[in-house]
Amino acid sequence: LRSLSPQVLAYSRATYETVAQRLVVTVVPLPGEGTSGIGGFQAGPLPRANLPPAAGPPRYQGEFLVADRDVEELLPAAARRLFAEAARGVWDRADLAIVNVTSALHRGARVPLPIEGRKEGVFVTVGSHGTFSQCLVAAASPQSRLRCRLGQQPVAGCYDTFAPRFSIAWCNLSLLEVPAGSVAPEPARGSGVLEEGGDFVPPSAAPAADLLASSLLTLLLPLLLALLLCLLLGHLMCCRREGV
C-alpha cells in the first residue's frame, strides 16, 4: 500500500486568484499480483537480491541510448549505480550489471552544437543472466520499430523508471542474446623471449628499374609547355598590331 499526495495549484487568468488543493492518491496492489507501477501498469515481482553469481559474461544484454548525458557524466561509479537501479525497474532483474559505456560519437553521431542543454549521447549496455522482461521485448518488437519509423513512441507496457533522471531514446533500444560458450578465448601468452631461429636472413635485393623514361617525361613536358607559352606570348606582343 502506497500513498502519494501531490499539491495542485490553479490560478484564474482573469482575476489572478490562486487556489491550492492537495490530492491524495493511494495505490493498492491487486491480490496475487506483483507490485503496481505508477500509471496503473502492473509489474511482476522482483527476484531476490541474493542470487548466486553466475559464471561468465551476462548472456542477455540490452543497449540503451541516454540522450541527455555526455560520456564523462556516466563514467563515475555513482552515476552508473543510479542507471543500474533505474534499469532494474524495466527489466525486473536484481542481478543487472553495466557491461559497457560508449559515447554516441563513436557510433557515428554528430558533434552537438555548442548550445546549452545539447549532449553527445551515451550508449550504455546492461547485462543480466535472466531473460528480458516483457516491457523490453515489447519496446524492441517489430511493431515498435514501425511506430518509430512513423515518428511515434514505441509500445511499452511498463512505467519508464529512468525518468526524470535519464532521458532514454527507446527507438534506439537493442536487445542481444549472447550464445552460451561464445566467449573468445584469451590469447596464449609466451615467455617473452624470442625463440632461436638461426641467423638473420635479409630480403633479396629488388631488381633495378628503368626510371630514365619517366624522369625525362617529368622534366621535359613542363619545359615544353613553358616554351610554347613564351612563343605564343611573344607573338601576341611583337608580331601583331592594333587593328590588324
In a domain, 91, yes or no: yes
**Domain that includes residue 161, residue range:** 57-177
Q: Quote the CA–CA distance of 232 and 130 in Å, as a whole number.
A: 84
Per the structure, the count of domains in the chain is 1
Give domain status of residue 216, yes or no. Answer: no
Tens-level pLDDT at each residue, the chain (244 residues): 566 777 777 777 666 677 777 777 776 665 554 443 333 333 344 343 334 445 567 889 999 999 888 888 888 889 899 999 989 888 888 888 898 898 888 888 888 887 777 888 899 999 998 889 888 888 888 888 898 898 888 877 677 888 888 888 888 898 988 877 655 555 666 666 656 666 666 777 778 888 888 899 999 999 999 999 999 998 888 876 655 5
Is 147 part of any domain? yes
Q: Which residues pair with 4 in a beta bridge?
A: 25
Residue 191 is assigned to a structural domain of this protein: no
Does the predicted model carry a pTM greater than 0.75? no
In a domain, 214, yes or no: no
Helices (H), the chain: 71-74, 77-91, 134-139, 142-149, 212-234
Q: Is 7 domain-assigned? A: no
Q: Measured between alpha carbons, how far is 26 from 15 in angstroms, rounded to an integer? A: 34
| Residue 37 forms part of a structural domain | no
Residues 131, 150: Cα–Cα separation, whole Å: 29
CA distance 66 to 6: 28
Residue 206 lies in a domain: no
